[in-house]
Chains A and B, each alone.
Chain A
Amino acid sequence: MEPVAIVGVGMTEMRRERKADGYPDLVYEATRKALDDAGMEIGDVDNVITVSNDFFDGRTISSMAIQDACGSFDKNVSTVEGDGTFGAFYGLMRILSGSFGTTLVCAHHKGSESEMPLITNAMFDPIYERFLGVEAVTSSALQARAYMDKYGITEEQCAMVSVKNHGNAFANPVAQLPLKLTVDEVMASPYIADPIKLLDCCPISDGASAVILASAERAEKAAKKPVWVKGVAHCSDAYHLGDRDLSDVRALEEAARKAYAMAGIDDPKKQVDLVELYDAFTYMELMWLEGLGFCGRGEGGRLTASGETAMGGRLPVNASGGCLSGNPVLVAGLNRIIECVLQIRGEAGERQVEGARTAVAHGINGPCGQSHCVWVLGGEK
């Protein structure tokens, strides 16, 4: 793969309800910040990928609403419906095609404007599943149970993720939900759908983010030190939940295998300095760590309990606070990428991971992590 860099990043604050801003306002704010970060003007953007979803926005062709806000006027532009990691992947391909020197990728989400369970219920097949009332939390609970039963993962081990990530969020000014918690407090929070408790769940959030990708030539002109895309891949498992072994992470393993191969990583445990992954629910962090190869199958709980994934540990995971501390859906994956960029640049402030050179960012689409996208980012070209 030809070298491509991330040269600009911008995030709005994530909040439960950004009542003063429509989602185009959020997109404009994030885009403006990414341009400023890159030392660019909108004229330096060769093409745009927007990320949106008609259900979450309550609007057909919802990307129409943000064309003014993202500065796509008189540019090539397209829309990915899915997590921001997938949108960024398309943005990357458009640079690799040789047609564009830079791509702006923006994503937005206003969870406050609708009722999330009704929208995530619409992920499920209208003929066979939807009328059972299943949505993101209950389907994830099925996965959590399958995973925990198979490997003897405990609810306490999951609770540790909540304690860690909400704690990390104190050092992240854009995070929505920094919380000082104990494992006991997480354990005492009410069950939503066993074994998932309230404090195992991400919040509902409003927010937007933008990144600017650039070819090697164009990256030279950026204001900040470029962060290079070393490898990236995605992969989808089967759709119907019963077709999958929900405790299994084969699609993630496949995406990680490809991304690592591109990046020349043969031992992620040794070669990766930090991870930002999609922890919409606490158990996901454990499962995805296994799928990403940072420990063996079933060892995610032990790895977390050992403190290795905490700040100051050998492999800090979700130093940003993760999705648990702010989850504007679709934006969430871009935020994972952005945190890795800030860390590799050494701009992560109080949450800076010392010596961060290689980072993994991860996003998901569909129920129970059906489809995974894995990015490896590095400081060296």
Chain B
Amino acid sequence: MDDWRENQELLVMEGRIKVPYRWFAGEVGTRYFESLRDERKFLGTKCGKCGKVHHVPRRNCPDCFAECSEWVELGSSGTLETYTVVRRQHPQLAPLPLPYGYGIIRLDGADTGFLHLLHEFEEGGLATGMRVEAVFAEEREGKILDVRYFRPAKGVS
């Protein structure tokens, strides 16, 4: 079946899966994002059984499998648990100009870390364990990018 193949350009069909999505944040997520949007405050959820404060918020504790029973207000600063500085990224994905960072940040009052962006740092200026603070967007719509990014906390090493 191969004899026709010489000098033939093999066909490629270009396409794209175009499916619109609308993901429901649910009651827990809605409360969380309302607080970010309206009060610039991070909220965690506390497990009614083991007492762990989850951030991002959870309706149930993944471990105990019990309902999280209360909301806990968290600080907008925290500790950097790990980080990376991104030098190359798919243009559709990069939410900030390169180079920017990602960090796992444990906010004050939380027992888990959470993923967010890092910006406004010097080259070589990030370190595990350093203090970082949230920079909120001026226009907030109730989504994770209402926090524009975290940056090294001012005046604190």
Contacts and interface: CB of A to CB of B under 8 A. Distances in A.
Interface of A: 19-20, 58, 115, 117-118, 121, 126-129, 131-135, 138-139, 141-146, 149, 190-196, 238-243, 246-247
Given A142-B104, A193-B102, A246-B82, 6 more contacts: A118-B93, A128-B56, A138-B84, A142-B83, A144-B84, A241-B115
A146 B115 CA distance: 13
Given A118-B92, A131-B95, A242 B84 contact: no
A135 B93 contact: yes
Contact of A127 (B29, B113, B116): B29
A240 B88 contact: no
A374 to B, nearest CB: 23
Given A132-B116, A142-B84, A240-B115, A126 B21 contact: yes
Interface of B: 5, 10, 12, 15, 17, 21, 23, 25, 29, 54-56, 62, 81-90, 92-95, 102-106, 112-117, 128, 143-145
25 contacts: A19-B12, A121-B90, A126-B23, A128-B56, A129-B115, A132-B95, A132-B102, A132-B116, A133-B89, A133-B93, A134-B93, A134-B115, A141-B84, A144-B84, A146-B128, A149-B128, A191-B87, A192-B88, A193-B87, A242-B81, A242-B112, A243-B62, A243-B112, A243-B113, A246-B82
Given A132-B95, A192-B87, A242 B102 contact: no
A240 B143 contact: no
B157 to A, nearest CB: 17
A134 B102 contact: yes
Most buried by A among B21, B84, B87: B84
A218 to B, nearest CB: 34
Contacts of A243: 54, 62, 112-113
A146 B81 contact: yes
Contacts of B56: 128, 240, 242
Nearest to A146: B82
B82 A149 contact: yes
B10 A133 contact: no
B85 A246 contact: no
A247 B106 CA distance: 15
Nearest to B86: A193
Contact of A138 (B15, B81, B86): B86
B117 A132 contact: yes
Given A132-B102, A132-B117, A238-B62, A145 B90 contact: no
